[in-house]
C-alpha cells in the first residue's frame, strides 16, 4: 500500500489494523518464531524497513502508557535486542 498505492504509513496501517487480526494458540514466548535481523535484511530488505518503521510507531504509542518503563518497552518491541538482533 505504501510503495505501490502511495498511501502514507498512517492510512496504510489503519487499513491493516482494521483488516487483519492475529491469534496465537499460546502466549508462551517459545511458541513465537524469531528470525535474525541480518537474515531478514538479506532476504527481504524492504520488509525489514517496514518492520522497523512499524516498531518505531508501536514504541511511540507504548510510551504514552509506560512513560518511565524502558524495560517494559524493550520487552514489547518487535525487535529483540541482544548479541543477535531478532524479529
Residue 5 inside a domain? The answer is no
Whether 57 and 64 have beta carbons less than 8 Å apart is answered as: no
Contacts (Cβ under 8 Å, ≥6 apart) of 15: 1, 7
pLDDT recorded at residue 24: 66
Flag whether pLDDT at 66 surpasses 80. yes
Residue 56 inside a domain? The answer is yes
User: Mapping DSSP to helix (H, G, I), strand (E, B) and coil, where does residue 70 land?
Assistant: helix
Contacts (Cβ under 8 Å, ≥6 apart) of 79: 37, 51, 52, 55, 85, 86, 87
Residue 50 inside a domain? The answer is yes
Residue 9 inside a domain? The answer is no
Supply the pTM of this predicted model. 0.80
Flag whether pLDDT at 10 surpasses 80. yes
Q: For 28-50, what is the mean pLDDT?
A: 91
Residue 15 inside a domain? The answer is no
Residue 3 inside a domain? The answer is no
Residue 66 inside a domain? The answer is yes
Residue 31 inside a domain? The answer is yes
Range of the domain at 65: 26-76
Q: Into how many domains does the chain fold?
A: 1
Which residue(s) pair with 31 in the sheet?
A: none
In percent, the amount of the chain with pLDDT more than 70 equals 95
Amino acid at each position: 500500500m505504501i510503495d505501490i498505492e502511495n498511501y502514507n504509513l498512517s492510512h496504510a496501517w489503519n487499513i491493516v489494523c482494521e483488516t487483519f487480526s492475529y491469534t496465537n494458540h499460546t502466549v508462551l514466548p517459545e511458541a513465537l518464531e524469531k528470525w535474525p535481523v541480518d537474515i531478514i535484511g538479506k532476504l527481504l530488505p524492504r520488509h525489514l524497513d517496514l518492520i522497523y518503521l512499524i516498531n518505531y510507531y508501536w514504541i511511540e504509542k507504548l510510551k504514552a502508557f509506560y512513560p518511565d518503563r524502558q524495560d517494559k518497552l524493550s520487552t514489547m518491541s518487535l525487535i529483540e535486542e541482544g548479541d543477535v538482533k531478532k524479529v
